[in-house]
Structure 1
Amino acid sequence: MLRKICKGKLHRLTVTQADLNYMGSITLDPLLMQAADIRPYELVQITNLSNGQLWHTYAIAGGKGSGAVCLNGPPARLFQPGDKIIVLSMGWMDDEEWNALEAKVVFVDDQNRISSIVTHKPSEEMPDADGE
């Protein structure tokens, strides 16, 4: 069986730009993409903490070290500069892949610079049959 798993998370990014006239996607600083294991054109889920809006689109790389977080196309109406967002990178995994997964949560400062990265090994966090 395959399960849809969160393999990486960018936590509380600040939107830096919204470009309604671009054809679509989210532009991210490649340093952020690499830290959360997001590849160019990978589908990501974005949640706007300011208004609760949820959106799925693909990621593209902006300028390295720029802190860029730009919503392009239709989501530019729902995500505005200054909004705080969460970006999730997900993948379909079988049990063997899940057992080897080291999911990353990337924390940033107000300029979208990485402040810390926390790695989780979900298989080690799974309670045993006794619930412990």
Structure 2
Amino acid sequence: MYIEILKSKIHRVKVTQAELNYVGSITIDEDLMKAADLIEGEKVQIVNNNNGERFETYVITGEAGSGVLCLNGAAARRVQVGDILIIISYMSVKKKKAAEYKPLLVFPDENNRIS
């Protein structure tokens, strides 16, 4: 049997942009993506600490070192610039292996950079 478990999360990252007129997704600084083992196109869950919204979208690679965190398309309506988010990725694993996996937890600074 397979179960879904936490693969990684970026904890308390700040929204830097919200672009309504875009196809849709979340643009994340490439450095944060690497630290959380995210790839372009990967599905993620977004939790907005400011308003309680929870939704899913997919990742687009942002410029490394830029600190960019931009919600695009319809997702832009669920955030305000400056909101604090948690970005969560999950993975399916055999139940017997789940207890052995240690998720990647990324805690960026107030400028969305790895400290």
* Residue aligning to 1:104: 104
Gaps of 5+ in 1: 116-132
RCO higher in 1 or 2 (8 Å CA, sep ≥ 6)?
A: 2
- Deviation, 1:99, is 4.6
Dislocated runs of 4+, deviation >3 Å: none
Rounded to whole Å, the distance in 2 between the matches of 1:77 and 1:111 is: 22
2:18 counterpart of 1:18:
yes
- Deviation, 1:37, is 1.1
Deviation string 1:43-78 (CA, Å, 9 cap, x unpaired) is 000000000000100001010111110000001011
Q: What secondary structure does 1:65 align onto?
A: coil
* Residue aligning to 1:84: 84
Q: Kindly, what percent of the aligned residue pairs are identical?
A: 48
Q: How many residues align?
A: 115
2:30 counterpart of 1:27:
no
- Deviation, 1:3, is 0.6
Say if 1:33 and 1:97 are closer, same or farther in 2 by CA, change over 3 A.
farther
Higher gyration radius (CA):
1
Q: What secondary structure does 1:108 align onto?
A: coil
TM-score, with structure 1 as normaliser: 0.83
User: Partner letter of residue 68 of structure 1?
Assistant: V
Q: How does 1:47-86 map to 2 (within 5 A)?
A: 47-86=47-86
2:42 counterpart of 1:42:
yes
Rounded to whole Å, the distance in 2 between the matches of 1:99 and 1:65 is: 33
Gaps of 5+ in 2: none
